[in-house]
Amino acid sequence: MTVLEERSPVTGRPGSAGRVGAGVFRPGQLWSSLPEALRKLNPKHQLKNPVMFVVWVGSLLTTVFAATDPSVFTILIAVWLWFTVLFANLAEAVAEGRGKAQAETLRRTKKETLARRLTEDGSEQQVPGADLRVGDLVVVEAGQVIPGDGDVVEGIASVDESAITGESAPVIRESGGDRSAVTGGTTVLSDRIVVRISTGPGESFVDRMIALVEGASRQKTPNEIALTILLATLTIIFLLAVVALQPMAAYSGSEQSVVVLAALVVCLIPTTIGALLSAIGIAGMDRLVQRNVLATSGRAVEAAGDVSTLLLDKTGTITFGNRRATELIPVGESTVDDLARAARLSSLADGTPEGRSIVELIAERHGLAAAADDGEKLAEFVPFTAQTRMSGVDFDGREIRKGATSAVRQWVRDRGGDVPDETERVVDEISQQGGTPLVVAEAAGGTAKVCGVTCLSDVVKPGMRERFGELRAMGIKTVMITGDNPLTAQAIARDAGVDDFLAEAKPEDKMALIRQEQEGGRLVAMTGDGTNDAPALAQADVGVAMNTGTMAAKEAGTMVDLDSNPTKLIEIVEIGKQLLITRGALSTFSVANDLAKYFAILPAMFTGIFAQLGALNVLQLATPRSAILSAVVFNALIIVALIPLALRGVRYRPSSASALLRRNLLVYGLGGIVSPFLGIWVIDLLVRHIPGIG
């Protein structure tokens, strides 16, 4: 098993080990990525990009002519066509290089560690971490490194996860609940825990991080594939148009050379966006990594830009998730002591944070022992399930249950008991105050009764209302999902500022809600951290699992938030929208800047036989050769100039689609027309002085 010795090579945060490759674009990255760009000149790689493959073929043809019939013009055209292909490769290499640098930093920090594996007889056996298999139980104590990904099945400990998240503050990991997952390579700071290993060698979270940040698993998204097909179609159309141009030129007595025709094709096809398309997609995932989010594919990043409905799990997502028992309220003929004894028995074997807090409250306020005696250890514990929504214990002829109001009410009535009217009143009061009521009931001697209600209090995370307001401004509907009763859910939803909520939700209810939204043509994103969230995370178009959550949730989601901050989805949506806007903006620019090339190359080709075309030489370019060479040079240089924008992305501001379109046309459409006129004119002023060109 491999572990990390330095802090957050992936995130590139200040003070972390991995500043290399992350952050803003630096000119030095062009030089360091040049060897990889040269390797990408391989025709097998160029075939993946139809637009640049045509440029590659044109470069090869002009090189042949430059070798067989050399001239200054032919040689310069060949050189700059190769530069065009090289600069396109450079854009992709720079984008990939940043992720590979981060992955290399991770690899340098890996080392082997020993694990204390438990055998069937309970003894410990030291084995290399690489020998651990799924299901193995390992003991980890203070100061030791967790040897593999897994879930805490026994104990509670403070864990340093700075090697993964970059955060120096330790976190609590404990058995039960949704904060039991631990990651290999993190360090236990206190106490002792037993971890059940959930991944095999080479499949750990760290290994996945390495594969993701270096882009090894990136696939083209549907929109990217569609745009590639469109660009290929435009390339074929322009190629056929140029081929058809030669017979007409020959008929007019102005037959053009293959070098000039190759230059014309390269300048007319959408080389700019064709060269930058891959870099835009890679950079989108890189921006997520810089924000401590790992995406399993570019498809998820792109889908995030089109999300219209956001489902949020309440516990651990909207709220802190550390609900604690704060009050015992008896009902009917039961006294508070009766309720305390019943609630204690039902919670002694309950390993969840809520169950432990009930035992702690009763021990503190009512003086009952916090640990089970020898007789109580023989009791049969009934665990909580999403279907029964109750837990409890069967002991000495008594059945004791605690859980959701509706579930316990039905349990009591099935055993011939009655539920006091005041139970509903107490439950409603707790719920209206934002607390969570757990009803405690007991059955013995053929009768059943409700003993009372335990109040659990939860706290909404600060800043949630403001962040949800930002989502609303983006046109995204927020829905809180919780297993609490409707009144509790309504109180939490009101405090958090969500648009809607789904109460008493079972896993199948979450799935049904997601499918209902998707049937309406909407893309759905969901954040969650529990095992019961896993099916819904898998069904959602964008499933963001919290790093503090269970391993099942992280495996099911399409993204993992290392900071475990549910409001991070706002940034994820912005990055997704930024990816789409950047792609659209550069596509607009690429098509628009062809207009200037028409005015540069076409008059230059035919002015000799059609003097009237001289009126189209609005740039007053010196000679036909200088005009063609200037257009080719500009076509290559503009790719390099746009690499920083492709990697950084066009800034996203929440606004309507029509406003975004107007801005896109005004800035990148008009800019795509004006900049080539200026650029080609300046280049012509320089190349006209080259012998054989001017």
Neighbouring C-beta atoms of residue 652, cutoff 10 Å: 19
Please check if 384 is assigned to a binding site.
yes
Q: Are 262 and 630 in contact (CB under 8 A)?
A: no
Reply yes or no on whether 313 is catalytic: yes
For residue 524, give the nearest of 578, 573, 582 by alpha carbon: 573
Rounded to an integer, what distance in angstroms lies between the CA atom of residue 687 and that of residue 693? 7
Yes or no: say if 462 and 486 are a contact pair by the CB < 8 Å rule.
no
Residue 526 assigned to a binding site: no
198 known ligand binder = no
506 near 387, Cβ under 8 Å? yes
402 is in an annotated binding site: yes
587: its two tokens:
């596509």
Alpha-helical (H) ranges within 540-669 are 551-556, 568-592, 594-606, 624-648, 657-664
Q: Which CB contacts under 8 angstroms, 24+ apart, belong to 30-39?
A: 30/90, 30/94, 30/640, 30/643, 32/97, 33/90, 33/93, 33/94, 33/96, 33/97, 34/90, 34/93, 36/89, 36/93, 36/96, 36/97, 37/86, 37/89, 37/90, 37/92, 37/93, 38/86, 38/89
Residue 389 annotated as lining a ligand binding site: yes
Burial class (CB in 10 A: 0-12, 13-18, 19+), 202: exposed
Sign of dihedral through CA atoms 535, 536, 542, 545? negative
Q: Which residues, in sequence order, are bridge partners of residue 140?
A: 193
385 is in an annotated binding site: yes
Tell me whether residue 290 is annotated as binding.
no
Rounded Cα distance, 205 and 269, in Å:
43
CA dihedral 549, 539, 557, 537 (to 10 degrees): -20
**Residue 391 in marked binding region:** yes
48 labelled ligand-binding:
no
- H or E, element range at 497: none
The number of helices, as runs of H, and strands, as runs of E, in the chain is 25, 21
Q: DSSP string covering 106-137, please?
A: HHHT--B-EEEEE-TTS-EEEEEGGG--TT-E
Pairing of strands 192-197, 150-160: antiparallel
The torsion angles phi and psi of 390, rounded to 5 degrees, stand at: -145, 160
Collapsing DSSP to helix, strand or coil, 308 comes out as strand
**Cβ distance 416 to 447 under 8 Å?**
yes
Mapped onto helix, strand or coil, the DSSP state of residue 196 is: strand
Cβ neighbours, 10 Å, residue 62: 28
Name 100's Cβ contacts closer than 8 Å, sequence gap at least 6. Answer: 21, 214, 215
Q: How far apart are CA 577 and CA 304, in angstroms?
A: 7
506 is known to lie in a ligand binding site: no
374 annotated among ligand-binding-site residues: no
Catalytic residue among 313, 484, 541, 561: 313
Residues at the annotated binding site for ATP? 350, 354, 384-391, 402
* Residues classed as catalytic: 313
Q: List, as residue ranges, the binding site.
A: 350, 354, 384-391, 402, 529, 533
Residue set of the binding site for Mg(2+): 529, 533
